[in-house]
Amino acid sequence: MTTRQITHDAAYDAVAPDDFAAMIEVDRYGARSTAFDKIISATHDHFWDPLDTKYIDFSEPFDMENEAIMPEDMVPELQLPCFKDMPQKERIRFVNESARWNLSAILHGEAGALGLSASLCHILRDPGAQEYAANQTREEARHVTGFAAYVKARWGTPLPCGETLKNLLTDIVNAPEVYKKVVGMQMLVEGLAMGAFAMLYTNAKDPLLVRLTQLVMTDEAFHHKFGKIWADRTVPNLSQEEQHLIEDWAAECFQTLLFNLVNPEQKKVIYESFGLDWQQVQAEMLEAFTDEDRKERMKSGTDIFRVLIKTLLKAGIITDRTKSFYATYVDMDELKSEGDHMIGDDIAEEGIKYLQTINFGTRTDALQQVSAAE
């Protein structure tokens, strides 16, 4: 079956993964788009090395037995009846195991982003787009190294990937369609990640985790630009059929993530270690938390699903046709009025200034360089 590519712009022209002959055609080398040049040039401004202690030191201690990495009120299970008699030290352990689950999911997501970026190098025909994908591959690789080092420092090993996230990452990485790779990773997964990183940066009690998330966000801010360039150049030129296809696929992915990403069934490996039945936890969660509770949580600027909806909205992937689906959880008019500023932009900007001080002894704002590419 022939793959249906939806690009509408030469910068995102793609070939089959096994069509290397197309990559060495003479005319390809001179047909380079300038769309990604400023993002590529800014790469050096936000360089960091997770193995170099001048950037981050994973030997920094944290009392895992007596200190919770996150505030208790950010772990909804602790409000349930089956947790009410849990001793304080066990509550701390549960908070930290929940953090382990979340950070393991982030680690798996970064591995997915690494695989996807590498796969783009095989199919993007434009030399500029291909170079950008190679740069992102390098950056995702250091994220894998960084989160693996953090998990090792605090817990020793990560937890397995939940089925929902594993299936989504597998589908996106293996998808032959460029639109699924870009929308799926640069918008859906990166949108979730930016929300998660902003939440961790704002609330985490472990200074090492705060530093790590900010360093990662300095890269992710640029990865989001790649998706935005795709949206700016592609979405306005979609046929109605293509618009509906992408909208429906994004909405389906969103719904799957919303109802399954933090479902107790996904986290049963944690509950087992506390002698809890995941089905009991799930039943109590369903009784305790309604759509109204979910909607209330999504009023927070750092809520991962709010950030994800805003990412899709600003990319033109949510229209009047589908906005009622998302309006069940967020005020779409309020979201639209917020402008293009994303929750992680300020955090990333400060991180870039910090990195430039280390790398160059300057405090030039690299994000200003990127704005010209939009």
Structure confidence at residue 57 (pLDDT): 97
Is the pTM higher than 0.85? The answer reads yes
Structure confidence at residue 366 (pLDDT): 46
Residue ranges and CATH numbers for the domains of the chain are 16-21+35-369 (1.10.620.20)
Structure confidence at residue 16 (pLDDT): 85
Structure confidence at residue 262 (pLDDT): 73
343: Cα separation from own chain's centroid: 13
> Where does residue 246 rank: exposed (0-12), middle (13-18), buried (19+ CB within 10 A)?
buried
- pLDDT of the chain along its 374 residues, tens only? 445 667 677 788 888 888 999 999 999 999 999 988 998 988 888 899 999 999 999 999 999 999 999 999 899 899 999 999 999 999 999 999 999 999 999 999 999 999 999 999 998 999 999 999 999 999 999 999 999 999 999 999 999 998 888 998 999 888 888 888 888 888 888 878 888 898 999 999 999 999 999 999 999 878 877 888 888 888 888 889 989 988 998 898 888 888 777 788 888 899 999 999 999 999 998 888 877 777 788 777 778 888 888 888 888 899 999 999 898 888 888 888 887 777 778 888 888 888 988 988 754 444 454 444 44
Structure confidence at residue 265 (pLDDT): 87
Structure confidence at residue 215 (pLDDT): 95
Structure confidence at residue 28 (pLDDT): 93
Structure confidence at residue 369 (pLDDT): 47
Sign (positive/negative) of CA torsion 262, 213, 187, 315? positive
Say if residues 69 and 153 touch (Cβ distance below 8 Å).
no
As a three-state string, the secondary structure of the chain is CCCCCCCCCHHHCECCCCCHHHHHCHHHHHCCCCCCHHHHHHHHHHCCCCCCCCCCCCCCCCCCCCCCCCCHHHCHHHHCHHHCCCCHHHHHHHHHHHHHHHHHHHHHHHHHHHHHHHHHHHHECCHHHHHHHHHHHHHHHHHHHHHHHHHHHHCCCCCCCCHHHHHHHHHHHHCCCHHHHHHHHHHHHHHHHHHHHHHHHHHCCCHHHHHHHHHHHHHHHHHHHHHHHHHHHHHHHCCHHHHHHHHHHHHHHHHHHHHHCCCCCCCHHHHHCCCCCHHHHHHHHHHHCCHHHHHHHCCCCCCHHHHHHHHHHHCCCCCCCCHHHHHCCCCHHHHHHCCCCCCCHHHHHHHHHHHHHHHCCCCCCHHHHHHCCC
